[in-house]
Structure 1
Amino acid sequence: MAKVQAGRSKTGLLLVVLIIVVLASTGINVYYLTQDRTAEPTAEAKPTPAPAPELIFVTIDPFTVNLQDGDYDSRLLYTGLSLKVGNAQTRNAIERNMPLIRNRLLLLLSEQNPREVTAVGGKQRLAEKILEQLKRPLDPTQPELIIHDVLFTEFIVQ
Structure 2
Amino acid sequence: MAEEKKPGKSSRVIILIIAIVVLLIVGAGGTWWFVLRPATVPTPAQIAKERLRDTKFIDLGSLVTNLQSSDGSTHYIQVQIQLKTYNAVVETSVKSFMPEIRNGILMLLSAQNADKVSEPAVRDQLLQEIKQQVNKTLETDGGVQKVPLTEKNPPIADVYFASFVVQ
TM-score over 0.5 (shorter chain):
yes
Deviations 1:102-142 (A, max 9, x none): 11111111011122220132211110111111121441365
Q: What SS class does the counterpart of residue 116 from structure 2 fall into?
A: helix
Q: What is the distance in 1 between the residues matched to 2:162 and 2:68?
A: 23
Q: What SS class does the counterpart of residue 50 from structure 2 fall into?
A: coil
Q: With the length of structure 1 as denominator, give the TM-score of the two structures.
A: 0.63
Q: What is the distance in 1 between the residues matched to 2:145 and 2:122?
A: 34
**Bigger CA drift: 71-80 or 100-109?**
71-80
Q: What is the distance in 1 between the residues matched to 2:67 and 2:155?
A: 29
Alignment of 1:46-125 (within 5 A): 49-50=45-46, 51-53=49-51, 54-70=54-70, 72-125=72-125
Q: What SS class does the counterpart of residue 121 from structure 1 fall into?
A: helix
Query: Runs of 4+ in structure 1 displaced over 6 angstroms?
Result: none
CA contact (8 A) 1:116 1:122 kept: yes
Per-residue deviation, 1:74: 1.7
Q: Which residue of 1 aligns with 2:23?
A: none
Q: What SS class does the counterpart of residue 91 from structure 2 fall into?
A: helix
Q: What is the distance in 2 between the residues matched to 1:62 and 1:87?
A: 23
Q: What SS class does the counterpart of residue 94 from structure 1 fall into?
A: helix
- Root-mean-square deviation (CA, aligned residues, Å) is 2.0
Q: What is the distance in 1 between the residues matched to 2:82 and 2:163?
A: 10
Structure 1 pair 123–60 and aligned structure 2 pair: CA distance change class (3 A):
same
**Bigger CA drift: 63-72 or 101-110?**
63-72
**How many residue pairs align between the two structures?**
111
Per-residue deviation, 1:89: 2.1
Per-residue deviation, 1:71: 6.1
Deviations 1:17-60 (A, max 9, x none): xxxxxxxxxxxxxxxxxxxxxxxxxxxxxx9x523322111100
Q: With the length of structure 2 as denominator, give the TM-score of the two structures.
A: 0.60
- What is the identity, as a one-letter code, of the residue corresponding to 1:104? G
- Given the alignment, which residue of 152, 155, 159 partners 1:150? 159
Specify the structure having the higher radius of gyration (Cα).
Answer: 1
**Bigger CA drift: 137-146 or 106-115?**
137-146
